[in-house]
């Protein structure tokens, strides 16, 4: 939970800096939800190498997106928890500790691209 609060803090501050201060909480949890679902798809793709083709219906992904969004909303934003997180960790996380917040989406994106490239090479018979 602490890592999610750290990510929320960093993405919230990023949204404020780019001028989205009025929707900073919602934009932060939407971005976190997207990254979490990308990690989920990465895991499913890696599992498909060993198990075989795994069919995921598009409605399952939509339901998962809204479920993860609701969980993050109720655990990080609901009833002013976002402002409590901002005040509680302002001194601790303000500064140059952005590496985790930067690597979290980049690793998911790179992993996803490596997965589909490996799957493409497997389908061609190269691997």
Runs of H (alpha helix) within the chain = 2-17, 24-51, 58-76, 81-88, 90-93, 99-124
Contact indicator for 33, 65 with CB cutoff of 8 Å:
yes
- Domain boundaries along the sequence of the chain: 2-124
- Render pLDDT for 71-124 as a digit per residue (tens, 0 to 9): 999 999 999 888 898 888 888 877 767 888 999 999 999 999 999 999 899 889
pLDDT at residue 18, as a whole number: 92
32-50 residue pLDDT tens: 999 999 999 999 989 888 8
Rounded-to-integer distance, Cα 123 and Cα 127, Å: 8
d(CA 16, CA 24): 6
- Contact 37/61 with Cβ under 8 angstroms? yes
At 73 the pLDDT is 95
Tokens found for residue 119: 């799957």
Give the pTM. 0.86
């Amino acid at each position: 939970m602490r890592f999610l609060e750290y990510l929320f803090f960093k993405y919230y501050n990023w949204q404020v800096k780019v001028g989205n201060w009025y929707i900073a909480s919602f934009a932060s949890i939407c971005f976190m939800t997207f990254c979490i679902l990308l990690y989920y798809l990465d895991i499913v793709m890696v599992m498909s190498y060993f198990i075989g083709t795994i069919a995921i219906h598009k409605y399952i992904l939509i339901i998962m997106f809204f479920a993860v969004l609701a969980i993050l909303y109720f655990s990080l934003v609901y009833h002013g928890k976002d402002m409590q997180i901002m005040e509680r960790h302002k001194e601790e996380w303000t500064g140059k500790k952005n590496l985790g917040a930067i690597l979290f989406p980049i690793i998911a994106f790179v992993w996803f691209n490596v997965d589909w490239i490996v799957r493409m090479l497997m389908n061609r018979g190269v691997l």
